Amino acid sequence: MTDRIDVGVAGATGMVGSRLLGLLREHPWFRLAEVGASQRSAGRTLAEALPPEEAHLPESMLALVLKDPGETWKSPLILSALPAPVAEHVEVTLAEAGHVVVSNASAHRMRPDVPLVIPEVNASHLELLDNQPWSGALVTNPNCAVAGLALALAPLHRSFGIERVMVTTFQAISGAGRPGPEADDFLDNVVPFIQGEEEKVAQEPLKILGAPAVAGGAVAGRGAAGIVSADFPISATCARVPVSHGHLLSISVELATKATPAEAAAAITGYASAIEDLALPSAPARALVVTEAAGRPQPKLDRDAEDGMAVTVGRLRACDVLDLKFLALAHNLSRGAAGAALLNAELCHATGVVSTRGLEAAAQ
């Protein structure tokens, strides 16, 4: 793969979009060709529209002029960091126009024909693309708290079967996007509510940990008709805490086959990723790290493990109410958003989705 393919970033001036720009800086497969934002920013260069903390981006990127949401895009691959209400319409329009859209937004995650993917866990869900009605394609990554939860649960579900889950989240301020909440609301405080978050945390892991269901049995050439969700309840409580980056989760699980903390740690450490053979540039050497250090994981100390792409699990111990309890930490902007989308884009490229469905492929 020597020729880099053009990508666009929609929502490039936001918290997730600008993180994507940084990750694309020296990407071996992709070249940033186009950027877009709202009508407020359209026509300005990235240098003019981005906040000062993004001035480290290369001149070639900062000189790009932001597109208006209604403009035509020419890149085969579009990474979307749009707000959900905007993504709902715009991402479908882009997929209809023949782009492969890889989205951070929640708008289409639970659509039966849209894969909700963590490549290490459920790369096979890309089969759903065969059922999409567009010449392009639409692939999504999970909510930022779900990224850590689903990855941490995946080995336990595979090895022992999960019966039910209780989770409380401690979510960083950058998860709220730009400009973010007023500092006064968060200093010396915890806000025990995030609009719409608990529903996503309860539902999205079940789709990710589910299995593709083939329409009418195993029909050659047909994609999965949908996903049969994993069958266990998740009870979630979500809170915003005064941390810059990194979502910490307190998780308790009941297992179908009982396991000791040591057996659970071995299952997590030994989890075989579904994408090891693909050598995706953003794939971490270890998607899951188990720490035995006291008082870990902590956002400040552990969020950058594996360049922010590892989920760190710690304090794995017996639970007197369910079976096991532990803490899990994921960087919300890396594993939880921009890094997750980029990994999905790499998966789409490596598995031929971009070359068979991307705009330029169609034009050739």
Nearer to ligand NAP, 138 or 225 (CB): 138
Site map for ligand NAP, 34-63, x if CB under 6 A?
A: ---xx-xx----------------------
φ and ψ of 130, to 5 deg? -65, -20
Q: Do the Cβ atoms of 8 and 103 come closer than 8 Å?
A: no
Q: Does position 98 bind ligand NAP by CB under 6 A?
A: no
> CA 186, CA 188: separation in Å to the nearest integer?
6
Least separation in angstroms between CB 68 and ligand NAP: 8
Q: Does position 241 bind ligand NAP by CB under 6 A?
A: no
Q: At what angle do helices 197-208 and 144-160 cross, to 10 degrees?
A: 40
* Catalytic residue (one of 144, 157, 331, 349): 144
Q: Which residue in 5, 6, 7, 11 binds ligand NAP (CB under 6 A)? A: 11
| CA distances for 24 relative to 13, 83, 136, 173, 184, angstroms | 14, 21, 22, 24, 34
> CA 104, CA 72: separation in Å to the nearest integer?
20
User: Which range in 33-41, 255-263, 286-294, 298-306 contacts ligand NAP by CB under 6 A?
Assistant: 33-41
Antiparallel, parallel or unpaired: β 5-10 and 77-80: parallel
Look up tokens 């719409």; give the residue.
196
Q: Is 144 a catalytic residue?
A: yes
Antiparallel, parallel or unpaired: β 324-330 and 311-318: antiparallel
φ and ψ of 108, to 5 deg? -115, 5
Nearer to ligand NAP, 11 or 358 (CB): 11
Q: Does position 140 bind ligand NAP by CB under 6 A?
A: no
Q: Is 348 a catalytic residue?
A: no
Question: Pseudo-torsion of CA 196, 207, 75, 359, nearest 10°?
Answer: -130
Q: Which residue in 17, 98, 119, 339 binds ligand NAP (CB under 6 A)? A: 17
Q: Which residue in 78, 82, 227, 330 binds ligand NAP (CB under 6 A)? A: 82
Least separation in angstroms between CB 340 and ligand NAP: 8
User: Which range in 78-86, 156-164, 204-212, 351-359 contacts ligand NAP by CB under 6 A?
Assistant: 78-86
Please give the distance of CA 281 from its chain centroid, rounded to a whole number: 16
Q: Please tell me the chain's helix, strand, coil percentages from 3-state DSSP, rounded to the nearest 5.
A: 35, 25, 40
* Catalytic residue (one of 99, 108, 157, 247): 247
Note the maximum CA span of the chain: 62
In the region spanning residues 152 to 211, those forming contacts with ligand NAP, defined by CB under 6 A, are: 174-175, 177-178
Nearer to ligand NAP, 200 or 325 (CB): 200
Nearer to ligand NAP, 143 or 273 (CB): 143
Least separation in angstroms between CB 44 and ligand NAP: 9
> CA 110, CA 128: separation in Å to the nearest integer?
12
Q: Does position 104 bind ligand NAP by CB under 6 A?
A: yes
Site map for ligand NAP, 317-356, x if CB under 6 A?
A: ---------------xx--xx-------------------
Q: Which residue in 128, 144, 310, 329 binds ligand NAP (CB under 6 A)? A: 144
Q: Classify burial at 180, counting beta carbons within 10 Å of its beta carbon; exposed 0-12, middle 13-18, buried 19 or more.
A: middle
Least separation in angstroms between CB 207 and ligand NAP: 16
Q: Does position 86 bind ligand NAP by CB under 6 A?
A: yes
Q: What is the b/e burial string over 40-66, where b = at least 16 CB atoms within 10 angstroms of the residue's CB?
A: ebbeeebeebbeeebeebeeebbebeb
Nearer to ligand NAP, 245 or 325 (CB): 245
Closest-CB residue for ligand NAP?
14
Residues that bind ligand NAP (CB under 6 A): 11-17, 37-38, 40-41, 69, 81-84, 86, 104-106, 143-144, 174-175, 177-178, 332-333, 336-337
